[in-house]
Amino acid sequence: MQFYSTNNREARVDLRHAVMQGLAPDKGLYMPAYLPVLPSQFFKNISKMSFQELSLEVISALLAGDLPLTELKRMIDHTIQFDAPLVQLEETIFALELFHGPTLAFKDFGARFLSGLLSYYASKQDDEITILVATSGDTGSAVANGFLNVPGTRVIVLYPSGKVSDIQEKQFTTLGGNITSLEVEGTFDDCQRLVKQAFLDVEINKQRLLTSANSINIARLIPQMFYYFYAFAQVHHRSPDVVFSVPSGNFGNLTAGLLAMRMGLPVKHFVAATNANDTLARFFATGEYRPGSTLFVVWTQSRHGDFGDPSFDLTRDLGRELLRDRPTNVVLVKVNYWLSR
């Protein structure tokens, strides 16, 4: 599989380079140059498959040419160790529970897959891999847990002071070992900016082999497709029209859903539910990207959605790359707040 930079479609790299670099040298994101469409037989049999089985089918269709099937199976077994049940709330409304992982966050799926993939690459080289991650809570917890004591890796978590829940702060600041946490005076946007600056710093990259575990890394997005397929497997017999409503902050989760749709997942449309920090909703409404400044982030009960300046690379991918063929597949809705756990 080849991956291109969203700033230059001709700049192609293989999976290892896309995952290890995280962010392309031209500041673009790496996206798959080609997304295979799963055969109709897969969707006919999807309800008979286990979570692990359907995940292996999806990842094999995408990455079978990049990694041995035995390694892909090992990574799936490492990633899918907990369920994602669909719970009925009303006759046609269901909640996909993504909090059954070790840190109670949906990002446990992506973090565990990424740790399995990077441990594979680390075993093939002598240099230690340093993973930089900015977090408003979920990502730091999931990545720290997923990479704890993984040979050949070191994790550095940057988080905004006073803006992370107590339990999540404890989840990534008390581990020790190969996990280092740095408290930053500022917002998540400031933490993410520091991570991106580090990737573009020539001197730092001469001394350290850096990669990212944020949603800018394609290896975080790919495994988050799995639970969209699994949710569909649990509910599609009830209705031919499946709609996903996705609480959205930095829009990595929604991007994973759109990737799944491009691989054939029959979704009628997505609802991107933002809290009071509605930068992307305004971007789609006006065509202008006007992020809120650090001083005007609205702090809500859904702290991991409190971004005044969500990754512009992701908004560009949503608007220009993923939606260019079917722009009506995403509906943006602003709500007063949506509760974090």
| 92 domain-assigned | no
Identify whether 132 is part of a domain: yes
In a domain, 65, yes or no: no
What is the average per-residue pLDDT within 70-77? 95
> Mean pLDDT, to the nearest integer, of 193-204?
88
Q: What is the pLDDT of residue 278?
A: 66
How much is the pLDDT for 279? 66
Q: Which whole number is the average pLDDT over 151-179?
A: 93
Residue 278 lies in a domain: no
65-69, 208-212, 226-230, 277-281: least confidently modelled range: 277-281
Question: Stretch 81-106: mean pLDDT, rounded?
Answer: 92
Average pLDDT over residues 84-93: 92
Q: How many percent of the chain have pLDDT more than 70?
A: 80
Catalytic sites, residue numbers? 107
Assess whether pLDDT exceeds 90 at residue 87: yes
Instruction: Please provide the average confidence, as pLDDT, over all residues in the chain.
Output: 83
Number of structural domains (the chain) is 1
- The answer to whether position 196 is within a domain reads yes
Domain assignment present for residue 141? The answer is yes
Which of 9-18, 111-120, 171-180, 305-314 shows the lowest per-residue confidence on average (mean pLDDT)?
305-314
- Check residue 289 and give its pLDDT: 63
CATH, residue 152: 3.40.50.1100
Tell me if 159 is assigned to some domain.
Answer: yes
Domain that holds residue 130: 107-216
Q: Specify if 199 maps to a domain.
A: yes
pLDDT at 340: 40
Lowest-confidence region among 6-20, 158-172, 306-320 = 306-320
pLDDT band at 255, cuts 50/70/90? confident
| pLDDT: which is higher, 238 or 74 | 74
Query: Which of 32, 40, 35 lies closest to 15 in space, CA to CA?
Result: 32
